[in-house]
C-alpha cells in the first residue's frame, strides 16, 4: 500500500520528533510505501499556489489522491494542531480538494506532553469525517515514548491494525455528525453607548471581517459594556508567521520573531481587566489566524500570568454542533485560571435574542471585573496545573523562565513538601495500624467528614 504522511510539524521531516514515529513504522513495515508531504513547514508556498492547477498545493493534493491511506503526523499545539496545519485544512475546503480524502482510510500519530492531546485528535477526526474519509482512532504518544520497548511494540500493533483495516476495508463508526450551517443575518437594533468608565479596561481580540455577524457582535458588546473597550482585530496586526516550535523562547521568554504579537500579549492583554475572545468558526476550529496567534503565545511558557483575569467569548458559527471546539477554548482559558463570564454565539433565529445575550454578557463581565469575582477552579485548571508543574520540574534545564517562576511563586506544591500534611499523614498511618482505632474511625467516618462545617452555622445540622 501507498501511505500518505502529512507532516504537520513546523520543524519538518528533518527535526520533528513526531515524524520519527513514522520513520520507525516505515522500517518495521517495509512492504508498504510511505510518501511524505511537508505541510506545516511549507505552508506559505502551499498557500501561495493554492488556487493554481499546477504548483505545490496541487502536487500535494494529487499525491494524497494517489495514496491508499493517510496518516496525519503532528505535534499537539495548544490543545489542537499547529496553526500551519490548520491553514492547510482550510485550503483543502477553500479549493474544493476534499476529493483527495473521500473514501480513504485515515488516522493520526501525534506527540505531546498529553496536555489535552485527545482534543487535537478529535479535531482531526472531525475534519476527516467532514472530508468523507474513514477515520480510525489515532496514536497519541508522549514525545519520548518511542525510546521504550513497550511503546515501540504498541506503535507497531497500532499500525498493523490500521493497515489490516485498510486492506479489508473494515467498517468504522463515525464520531461526529456533519456540520449543518444555518446562515442567519444578525441585525442588532440601534444601541447608544452609555457613559464609559475608564477605571477598568476590556480588550476584545477578534478576527472579524467587515459586515459579518461577528463584527456586529463585537460592536454590540463594545457599546453595552460600561468600561472602555478596545477592539484589536488580528487581521490588522503584524504577525510574521506561526510558531516554529524552535523553543528558543524557553530560556528568556523572547520569541525569535520581532512582530506585534508579543506587544499584544504583554502590553494589551496583560494590562486589561478582562479579555474577550471573538472568532468565527472555520471547519472545526476558529480561523488559522486565531490558531497562529494562540500558538505564538508559547513564549509565555507554562506560567499562568493571566490567572484571575476575567474573560468571555463571542463565537459566530455552529458551536453547539462542535462540542470539541468548546472544550478546547474553555480548557485553554480554565488552565490559565481565567474566570469565564460567559459565551454567546449567533446560533439563534432572533437578532433580539442575540442582542439580549450580548447585553447580559457585557453586564456579567463588568460585574465580575468590579467585584473581582472568582469562580471555583474546575478539572482543567486543576489538572492542567499539576501537569505543567511536573513537566516544568522535569524539564527545568530547558524551560528556565518557567522554572524560576514556579520556584518563586511556590508552585512546586507537591504535598510531600508540605510539612503539616506530611505530619498528619504519618500520625494517622501510625494510628490506623491499630485495628480498634481503625474500626471506630471508619464507623464515624461520615459524621467526621461534616463535623468541621458545624461552626459555620447557627443551627445544629449534626443530625
389 binds ligand FMN (CB under 6 A): no
We find the least distance from the C-beta atom of residue 4 to ligand FMN, in angstroms, to be 17
Residues 188, 362: Cα–Cα separation, whole Å: 15
We find the least distance from the C-beta atom of residue 267 to ligand FMN, in angstroms, to be 21
* Residue 76 neighbours by CB distance under 10 Å: 24
245 binds ligand FMN (CB under 6 A): yes
Residues 171, 42: Cα–Cα separation, whole Å: 34
Could you give the angle at the alpha carbon of 349 between the alpha carbons of 348 and 351, nearest 5°? 85
Site string for ligand FMN, 341-360 (x = CB under 6 A): --------------------
115 binds ligand FMN (CB under 6 A): yes
114 binds ligand FMN (CB under 6 A): yes
Residues 342, 365: Cα–Cα separation, whole Å: 8
Which one of residues 5, 6, 16, 221 is an interface residue with ligand FMN (CB under 6 A)?
16
Site string for ligand FMN, 17-56 (x = CB under 6 A): xx--------------------------------------
Residues 333, 458: Cα–Cα separation, whole Å: 38
Closest CA to 391 of 112, 145, 152: 112
Which one of residues 3, 5, 6, 9 is an interface residue with ligand FMN (CB under 6 A)?
9
Closest CA to 296 of 245, 333, 232: 245
Q: Cβ closer to ligand FMN: 228 or 327?
A: 327
333 binds ligand FMN (CB under 6 A): no
Site string for ligand FMN, 49-88 (x = CB under 6 A): --------------------------xxxxx---------
We find the least distance from the C-beta atom of residue 277 to ligand FMN, in angstroms, to be 17
11 binds ligand FMN (CB under 6 A): yes
Q: What number of chain residues touch ligand FMN (CB under 6 A)?
A: 22
Site string for ligand FMN, 120-149 (x = CB under 6 A): -----------------------x------
Q: Cβ closer to ligand FMN: 221 or 299?
A: 299
* Residue 343 neighbours by CB distance under 10 Å: 17
Residue 256 φ/ψ, nearest 5 degrees:
-70, -25
105 binds ligand FMN (CB under 6 A): no
At a CB cut-off of 8 Å and minimum separation 6, what does 386 contact? none
Q: Where would I find the beta strands (DSSP E) of 65-118?
A: 69-75, 105-112
* DSSP β-bridge partners for residue 107: 71
We find the least distance from the C-beta atom of residue 234 to ligand FMN, in angstroms, to be 17
Residue the block writes with cell 510511505: 34
Site string for ligand FMN, 274-303 (x = CB under 6 A): ---------------------x--x-----
At a CB cut-off of 8 Å and minimum separation 6, what does 34 contact? 3, 5, 22, 26
Contact status, residue 11 vs residue 244, Cβ threshold 8 Å:
yes
Which residues are near ligand FMN by CB under 6 A? 9, 11, 16-18, 75-79, 111-117, 143, 243, 245, 295, 298
Amino acid at each position: 500500500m501507498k501511505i500518505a504522511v502529512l507532516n504537520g510539524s513546523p520543524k519538518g521531516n528533518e527535526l520533528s520528533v513526531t515524524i520519527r514515529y513514522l520513520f520507525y513504522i516505515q522500517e518495521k513495515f517495509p512492504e508498504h510505501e510511505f510518501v511524505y508531504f511537508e505541510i506545516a513547514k511549507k505552508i506559505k508556498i502551499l498557500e501561495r499556489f493554492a488556487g493554481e492547477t499546477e504548483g505545490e498545493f496541487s502536487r500535494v493534493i494529487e499525491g494524497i489522491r494517489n495514496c491508499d491511506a493517510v496518516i496525519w503526523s503532528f505535534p499537539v499545539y495548544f490543545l489542537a494542531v499547529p496553526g500551519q496545519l490548520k491553514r492547510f485544512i482550510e485550503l483543502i475546503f477553500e479549493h474544493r480538494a476534499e476529493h483527495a480524502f473521500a473514501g480513504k482510510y485515515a488516522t493520526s500519530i501525534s506527540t505531546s506532553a498529553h496536555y489535552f492531546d485527545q482534543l487535537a485528535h478529535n479535531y482531526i477526526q472531525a475534519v476527516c469525517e467532514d472530508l468523507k474519509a474513514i477515520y480510525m482512532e489515532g496514536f497519541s504518544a508522549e514525545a519520548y515514548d518511542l525510546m521504550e520497548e513497550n511503546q515501540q511494540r504498541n506503535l507497531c500493533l497500532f499500525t498493523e491494525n490500521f493497515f489490516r483495516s485498510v486492506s479489508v476495508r473494515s467498517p468504522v463508526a463515525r464520531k461526529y455528525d456533519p456540520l449543518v450551517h444555518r446562515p442567519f443575518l444578525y441585525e442588532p437594533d440601534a444601541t447608544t453607548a452609555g457613559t464609559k468608565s475608564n477605571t477598568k479596561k476590556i480588550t476584545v481580540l477578534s478576527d472579524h471581517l467587515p459586515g459579518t455577524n461577528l463584527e456586529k457582535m463585537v460592536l454590540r458588546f463594545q457599546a453595552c459594556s460600561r468600561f472602555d473597550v478596545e477592539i484589536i482585530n488580528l487581521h490588522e496586526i503584524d504577525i510574521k508567521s506561526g510558531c516554529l516550535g524552535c523553543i528558543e523562547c524557553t530560556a528568556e521568554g523572547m520569541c525569535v520573531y520581532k512582530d506585534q504579537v508579543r506587544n499584544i500579549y504583554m502590553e494589551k492583554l496583560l494590562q486589561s481587566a478582562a479579555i474577550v475572545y471573538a472568532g468565527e468558526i472555520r471547519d472545526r476550529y476558529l480561523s488559522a489566524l486565531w490558531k497562529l496567534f494562540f500558538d505564538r503565545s508559547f513564549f509565555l511558557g507554562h506560567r499562568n500570568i493571566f490567572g484571575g483575569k476575567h474573560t468571555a467569548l463571542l463565537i459566530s458559527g455552529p458551536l453547539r454542533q462542535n462540542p470539541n471546539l468548546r472544550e478546547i477554548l474553555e480548557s485553554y482559558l480554565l488552565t490559565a485560571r481565567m474566570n469565564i463570564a460567559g459565551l454567546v454565539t449567533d446560533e439563534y433565529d432572533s437578532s433580539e435574542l442575540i442582542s439580549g445575550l450580548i447585553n447580559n454578557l457585557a453586564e456579567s463581565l463588568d460585574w465580575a471585573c468590579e467585584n473581582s469575582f472568582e469562580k471555583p477552579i474546575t478539572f482543567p485548571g486543576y489538572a492542567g496545573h499539576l501537569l505543567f508543574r511536573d513537566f516544568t520540574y522535569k524539564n527545568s534545564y530547558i524551560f528556565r523562565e518557567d522554572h524560576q517562576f514556579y520556584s518563586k511563586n511556590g508552585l512546586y506544591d507537591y504535598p510531600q513538601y508540605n510539612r503539616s500534611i506530611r505530619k498528619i499523614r504519618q500520625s494517622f498511618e501510625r494510628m490506623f495500624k491499630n485495628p480498634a482505632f481503625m474500626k471506630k474511625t471508619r464507623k464515624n467516618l461520615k459524621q467526621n467528614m461534616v463535623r468541621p462545617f458545624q461552626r459555620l452555622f447557627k443551627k445544629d445540622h449534626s443530625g
